[in-house]
Structure 1
Amino acid sequence: MMKSLRRILCLGVLCLGMGSIASAVVADTVQLRDGHPDVYYVKKGDTLWDISARFLENPWQWPELWHDNPQIDNPHLIYPGDEIRLSWADGEPRLTVRRDGNSRTELADGTVKLTPRARELDRDSAIPAIPMNAIQSYLKEALVVSRDEIRDAPYLVGGQDRRVVYGMGDTVYARDPDDQFENAPPRFGIYRVGEEYVDPETDEVLGYEARQIGLATITAHDEDMVTMKVVRSSEDVRVDDRLFPQPDRLVRAVLYPHAPAEKTTGHIIRFFDRINSVARNDVVVINKGERDGMEPGHVLDIFQQGELVRDRQRDEMVRLPRSRSGTLVLFRVYEKVSYGLIMESVRPIYMKDIVESPEGSY
């Protein structure tokens, strides 16, 4: 039996990278999923979203059922082997975590075998909020740039042997009129500027997609010309490709799904590697960004616009009601656009579908 709880609370969102806490007052109905477990043992490969979905109709509401536990200082940092338990206090559901030094293995008959072991926990071993393998390349390699950034970026002017295309191991030459290579890291990403992002409502150009096609390191510097060696390429490197600094580290998303503080409405404006529609675990771009209050971790519901049909009785065109088709979580936010991962899809999701703050969260 689905149980509902209407509460008003202050939801704190921890931003590890900035070391700050943002809070928002949320009035919402928390619904437990039919058939939810009372106890769940966290396994390697789990995500916070999927675990939450075992208990809740809306997985992003995870913190609203959290019960303060002196042993666990952050409900977003959950580790394999933790025991998550749903209990009731004063008629209200709450979630708690039990953490000890035992490794748990669930046997075929449903019993749980405990094996004592030492546990050393760090943030990197915590389960991620959303599937990292679906977004890692977009975190590390995708860029959205302005026309001015394209114009001012260093660019390739040629290479050895008078060829027109280059690849891994080749020597290429780049020009840097604005001295951006000076005191810069030795490794640069090679990017090809492509898709123009345009707002479907205002026709404003929101930015340009810069797709990384390779990596190069600087081997020599002569005034505004640099010599570089291509150390990696996913496709042919060409003259006029742009160069942007490339951090030499593994990028890991640190985000916690939560609703925007205010109502937000936008549209999906870009697919990747899909033609007609997308679904769960696909990445999309929306026409909202930092200037609209978006931040990594924001959850948005997706709606299909109702079909435009003719009312034959009155001889006029009317639009049918929209229908919810899924949910996405933003993981990369730029000034005017954001990248989001589709976490749930109940039907195909199409270009220009509406994205909106979850109902009841504003």
Structure 2
Amino acid sequence: MAALAGMGLLLAATQAQAQGLGWDQGLRADAPERYTVVRGDTLWGISGRFLQQPWQWPEVWQVNPHIRNPHLIYPGDVVYLYDCNGRPCLGLERGQGEVRLSPEVRRVPAREAIEPIPLDVVRHFLRDHRVVDDPDALNELAYVVAGNDRRIISGAGDRLYARGELQRGMRYGIYRRGERYQDPVTGELLGLELESLGQARVERLEDGIAVLEVLSSSQEIRNNDIVLPLESRELATDFLPRAPQHDVDGTLLAVPGGVRFIGRLQVVALDRGLRDGLEVGHVLQVEQLGERVVDPRTGESLRLPGSEAGLVMVFRPYQKMSYGLVMRASRTLEVGDRLHSPGRGRGVAQR
């Protein structure tokens, strides 16, 4: 399991993000004085036991000088709350993974570090999905023209034929066009989702036709499916949950797979991306729209202020859109819910 390298980033970001939280700001009313880390915990979950907003961890985390590497948290460690010059601070006591032997520290035995978020959910999703910004460019890429022995569908172990610029001996991903994501207001195309079907290797090339062996498949491969170079899908494990430093105003576009109602730890598509300043780890507040009413005096159609419904953390931003993970859902979220930077509320909206 990946080490919690993000704690280093958390410490580095302390001064930049600190807002001087007092005991009456940001701290949960039921925050424990001490919490022993257990297997299955995440950084988000641990910080959520102490803080109202989990991304505020950098503001209260303190370096413990007697710990050689306080940037890693393991099962058995103890996170504790104490007064730090009139503001809450969180400290760390090592569990059984390290023994103090002055002047050196001996580690016994190796333990699995705590993950920042449930990474397995994200890894599984990234294995099966990717986004392209320019769908028209797909028409210039390689594609499946036939299966072996006139098969309409192919799977692992089968051979198939494709046309396009392919290289002998190379491995490729096979994809099928999925949902087209569009800006709900302007109609701008934000990206085309591609669903992974499997992987194949080019055995030989003959008269512009490539013969491929299907190495793995999660679905049946059909004619006209796309053959693309494999995308690097290494997942950063140093997530630094934090609020964007600028205003973000967006919409929850969709849930891959066509689900409309959304709960915790589901992946969602957002209509904001790199060009809007979103980065890995940015946390956005989900707001459900308020009731639409008519002003009794002017006859104007008004949208009443919405209500906070959850939190989403960005884990894969593309140029015009992003994928995020629902980290909190106080009520069932829906496609079309608004997204904005935490702590930045709205007034009555007129549309």
TM-score, normalisation: structure 2: 0.84
Deviation, structure 1 residue 12: 9.6
1:119 to 64, 84, 109: 109
Q: Distance in 2 between matches of 1:13 and 1:336?
A: 29
Q: Distance in 2 between matches of 1:340 and 1:149?
A: 26
Q: Which residue of 2 aligns with 1:7?
A: none
Cα root mean square deviation, aligned: 2.9
Deviation, structure 1 residue 247: 6.0
Q: Distance in 2 between matches of 1:84 and 1:13?
A: 16
Once the two structures are overlaid, the 10-residue window that deviates more, 336-345 or 77-86, is: 77-86
* Identity score, percent: 37
The SS at the match of 1:27 is coil
Residues 221 and 254 (structure 1), Cα distance of their counterparts in 2 relative to 1, 3 Å cut = farther
What is the aligned residue count?
327
The SS at the match of 2:285 is strand
Contact 1:155 1:243 in 2 (8 A): yes
Q: Distance in 2 between matches of 1:221 and 1:28?
A: 65
Residues 48 and 216 (structure 1), Cα distance of their counterparts in 2 relative to 1, 3 Å cut = same
Q: Which residue of 2 aligns with 1:8?
A: none
Q: Distance in 2 between matches of 1:54 and 1:22?
A: 19
Q: Distance in 1 between matches of 2:17 and 2:214?
A: 51
Q: Distance in 2 between matches of 1:332 and 1:135?
A: 9
Q: Distance in 1 between matches of 2:328 and 2:20?
A: 20
Q: Which residue of 1 aligns with 2:338?
A: 354
Q: Distance in 1 between matches of 2:46 and 2:188?
A: 40
- The aligned runs of 1:220-239 (5 Å cut-off) are 220-222=204-206, 224-239=208-223
Is residue 2:318 matched to residue 1:334?
yes
Which ranges in structure 2 are unaligned for 5 or more consecutive residues? 1-5, 99-105, 346-351
Is residue 2:304 matched to residue 1:317?
no
Q: Which residue of 1 aligns with 2:239?
A: 255
1:68 to 44, 63, 67: 63
Q: Which residue of 2 aligns with 1:164?
A: 152
Contact 2:127 2:196 in 1 (8 A): no
Deviation, structure 1 residue 23: 8.1
Residues 22 and 207 (structure 1), Cα distance of their counterparts in 2 relative to 1, 3 Å cut = farther
Contact 2:250 2:338 in 1 (8 A): yes
Q: Which residue of 2 aligns with 1:138?
A: 125
- 1:118-141 CA deviation, whole Å, 9 max, x = no partner? 1336xxx32211112221122233
- The aligned runs of 1:48-67 (5 Å cut-off) are 48-67=43-62
Q: Distance in 1 between matches of 2:86 and 2:79?
A: 19
Contact 1:297 1:329 in 2 (8 A): yes
Residues 147 and 340 (structure 1), Cα distance of their counterparts in 2 relative to 1, 3 Å cut = same
Q: Which residue of 1 aligns with 2:170?
A: 186
Residues 276 and 139 (structure 1), Cα distance of their counterparts in 2 relative to 1, 3 Å cut = closer
The SS at the match of 1:52 is helix
Q: Distance in 2 between matches of 1:317 and 1:290?
A: 34
Which ranges in structure 1 are unaligned for 5 or more consecutive residues? 1-10, 104-115
- 1:223-269 CA deviation, whole Å, 9 max, x = no partner? 64321111222222111111223369875643221111211111011
Q: Which residue of 2 aligns with 1:37?
A: 32
Q: Distance in 2 between matches of 1:301 and 1:161?
A: 53
Q: Distance in 1 between matches of 2:158 and 2:321?
A: 35
Once the two structures are overlaid, the 10-residue window that deviates more, 211-220 or 333-342, is: 211-220
Q: Which residue of 1 aligns with 2:19?
A: 27
The SS at the match of 1:210 is strand
Q: Distance in 2 between matches of 1:117 and 1:253?
A: 23
The SS at the match of 1:150 is helix
Greater share of residues in strand: 1
Is residue 2:78 matched to residue 1:83?
yes
The SS at the match of 2:261 is coil
Q: Which residue of 2 aligns with 1:264?
A: 248
Q: Which residue of 1 aligns with 2:141?
A: 153
- 1:269-316 CA deviation, whole Å, 9 max, x = no partner? 111345331011111111111111111110000001112123456544
Deviation, structure 1 residue 216: 1.4
| Counterpart residue type for residue 38 of structure 1 | E
Q: Which residue of 2 aligns with 1:173?
A: 161
- The aligned runs of 1:191-230 (5 Å cut-off) are 191-222=175-206, 224-230=208-214
TM-score, normalisation: structure 1: 0.81
- 1:43-85 CA deviation, whole Å, 9 max, x = no partner? 111111111111011011111101122325454x322222111
